């Protein structure tokens, strides 16, 4: 499989190592220094693109690749206000798009655990909150993973109607506290507190390798595909 990398930071480099170890080849590496080269990515030279870039450039990069009908696997966060726009654009182009806020198998299991616990805690007089901790180079807050967790909790628990990225005294708001500390690949903790006890679930990443492995699996899954996909499709959790 010929894979293009759009974004060549620490995550892109970790993905490259796994791709090569699995026998795949790197067709293009696009970063801030050669961003115009993204226009040269096409089905003749690339089977799929893995895109991990900054929030302010992700939308442009994704659309640029989809325009040339190459499937995109994106892990960029901080741009999801435009997600429906990308879905519509992808379908118009007859291309393929795979998005996940987190590609770790463990985190995706944690997503399901979070939803189930939220259902169990519904109506039980517990106050829920969340904390997420990442390295100082992470530009967006809260993390995409935290947002996915928050949306899963809110959809399954009537006590919260929205999330906020700050301390809150509004009982209908789920507060997400974001901390940026080095080194910290990523920790997410959800707490339910009452006057009698506290229940917590958490996930702590030890390295970027788990995220990178999941992104490569998604790229292998997407080669030759059209349409919109997610980790639920890949893992069938």
Q: Tell whether 103 is in a known binding site.
A: yes
148 annotated to a ligand binding site: no
Instruction: Select which of 2, 28, 63, 138 is catalytic.
Output: 138
101 is known to lie in a ligand binding site: yes
Q: Are 108 and 231 in contact (CB under 8 A)?
A: yes
Q: Is residue 205 annotated as involved in ligand binding?
A: no
186 is annotated as contributing to ligand binding: no
Active-site annotation holds for 138: yes
Please state the three-class secondary structure of the chain as a single string: CEEEEECCCHHHHHHHHHHHHCCCEEEEEECHHHHHHHHHCCCCCCCEEEECCCHHHHHHHHHHHHHCCCCEEECCCCCHHHHHHHHHHHHHHCCEEEECCCCCHHHHHHHHHHHHHHHHHCCCCCEEEEEEEECCCCCCCCCHHHHHHHHHHHHHCCCCCEEECCCCCCCCEEEEEEEECCCCCCEEEEEEECCCCEEEEEEECCCCHHHHHHHHHHHHHHCCCCEEECHHHHHCC
Q: Any binding-site annotation on 206?
A: no
Tell whether 135 is in a known binding site: yes
CB burial of residue 72 (10 Å; 0-12, 13-18, 19+) = buried
Does 76 show up as a binding residue in the annotation? Answer: yes
12 labelled binding-site residue: no
Which candidate in 134, 160, 188, 203 is catalytic?
134
Cite the active site residues: 134, 138
Annotated binding site for (S)-2,3,4,5-tetrahydrodipicolinate: 135, 144-145
Annotated binding site: 22, 75-77, 100-103, 135, 144-145
Annotated binding site for NAD(+): 75-77, 100-103
Annotated binding site for NADP(+): 22
């Amino acid at each position: 499989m010929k894979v293009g990398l759009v974004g060549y930071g620490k995550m892109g480099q970790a993905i490259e190592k796994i791709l090569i170890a699995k026998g795949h080849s790197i067709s293009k590496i696009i970063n801030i220094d050669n961003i115009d080269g993204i226009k040269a990515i096409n089905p003749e030279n690339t089977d799929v693109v893995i895109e991990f870039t900054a929030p302010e450039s992700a939308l442009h990069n994704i659309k640029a690749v989809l325009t040339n009908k190459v499937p995109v696997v994106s892990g960029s966060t901080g741009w999801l206000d435009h997600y429906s726009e990308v879905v519509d654009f992808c379908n118009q182009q007859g291309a393929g798009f795979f998005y996940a806020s987190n590609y770790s198998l463990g985190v995706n299991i944690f997503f399901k655990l979070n939803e189930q616990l939220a259902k169990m805690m519904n109506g039980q007089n517990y106050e829920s909150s969340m904390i997420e901790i990442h390295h100082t180079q992470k530009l967006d807050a809260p993390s995409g993973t935290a947002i996915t967790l928050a949306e899963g909790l809110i959809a399954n628990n009537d006590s919260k109607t929205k999330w906020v990225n700050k301390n809150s005294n509004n009982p209908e708001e789920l507060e997400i506290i974001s901390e940026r500390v080095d080194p910290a690949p990523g920790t997410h903790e959800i707490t339910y507190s009452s006057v009698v006890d506290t229940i917590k679930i958490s996930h702590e990443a030890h390295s970027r390798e788990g995220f990178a492995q999941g992104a490569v699996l998604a790229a292998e899954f997407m080669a030759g595909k059209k349409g919109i996909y997610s980790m639920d499709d890949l893992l069938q959790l």
